Amino acid sequence: MILGFVLGMGALYGLTRLDSAMRISELMADPAASAKLQVDGVAPNFELESINGERVSLSQYRGRVVVVNFWATWCGPCQVEMPLFQSRYEQYEGELAILAVNAQEGVEEAKGFMKDFGLTFEALLDPGGEVQELYLVRGYPTTYVIDREGILRVQHIGVLDEAQLDETLESAGLGE
């Protein structure tokens, strides 16, 4: 029954790989995994390689509000919200970091997407999906907003519209 629910959610949010659904169902059944990731708790640190080959960690952005967005090039809702992220990235230059964590695609696919959409914020590669598992990603897009002290303030599954994004950024201390 849980597997059916996970597969149904996967279809709803664009997951098409059974192995991803299986890992997600395992995480959903593991209370210790979900206890590590909680709104109003410390956001788990991670380190990934950017599409430019640099190592990037979440902790290096302490002092800024951080949006961690899990996305894929084939995800229609991801394509809709990316220009909005770019707009807010430019609006809050120096105060806001956006870490766009790609869903296990190749560097060339991710680079092409970022170029096609004119995106200048950080795009990261998660080839084994470990960070997606750490953050319990169940569908794309999934967005987390982390405040300047590293506290997870918002988890949002699905596309964010302008009002929702502004509200989430305000909850983390931007735009007040």
- Kindly report the CATH number assigned to the domain that includes residue 87: 3.40.30.10
* Model confidence band, residue 82 (pLDDT cutoffs 50, 70, 90): very high
Residue 75 lies in a domain: yes
The structure tokens listed for 116 are: 């096609």
User: Do 100 and 85 form a contact (C-beta atoms < 8 A)?
Assistant: yes
- Looking at residue 37, what is its pLDDT? 87
Nearest to 132 by CA among 11, 2, 39, 15: 15
Is residue 115 included in any domain, yes or no? Answer: yes
- pLDDT: is 28 or 50 the higher one? 50
How does residue 2 score in pLDDT terms, banded at 50, 70 and 90? Answer: very low
Domain that holds residue 98: 39-171
Q: Confirm whether 67 is domain-assigned.
A: yes
* Residue-level pLDDT at 140: 97
Say how far apart CA 49 and CA 115 lie, in whole Å.
18
Q: Which pTM was predicted? A: 0.80
The answer to whether residue 125 sits within a structural domain is yes
pLDDT of 34 higher than 50: no
N residues, the chain: 176
Question: Phi and psi of 49, rounded to 5°?
Answer: -90, 135
Structural domain includes residue 31: no
pLDDT at 23 over 80: no
Which of the 8 DSSP states describes residue 70?
A: E
How much is the pLDDT for 154? 95
Would you place residue 14 in the very low, low, confident or very high pLDDT band (cuts 50, 70, 90)?
A: very low
Buried b (16+ CB within 10 A) or exposed e, 49-73: ebbeeeebebeebeebbbbbbbbbb
Residue 30 lies in a domain: no
Q: Rounded CA gap, 173 and 147, in Å?
A: 7
Average pLDDT score over residue span 57-73 = 97
What DSSP line would sit under 28-92, residue for residue? HH-HHHHHTS-TTSBPPP-EEEETTS-EEEGGGGTTSEEEEEEE-TT-HHHHHHHHHHHHHHHHT
Number of domains present in the structure of the chain: 1
Dihedral of alpha carbons 38, 42, 48, 50, sign: positive
Res 150 pLDDT > 80: yes
In a domain, 176, yes or no: no
Q: Assess if residue 96 is contained within a domain.
A: yes
pLDDT value, residue 176: 63
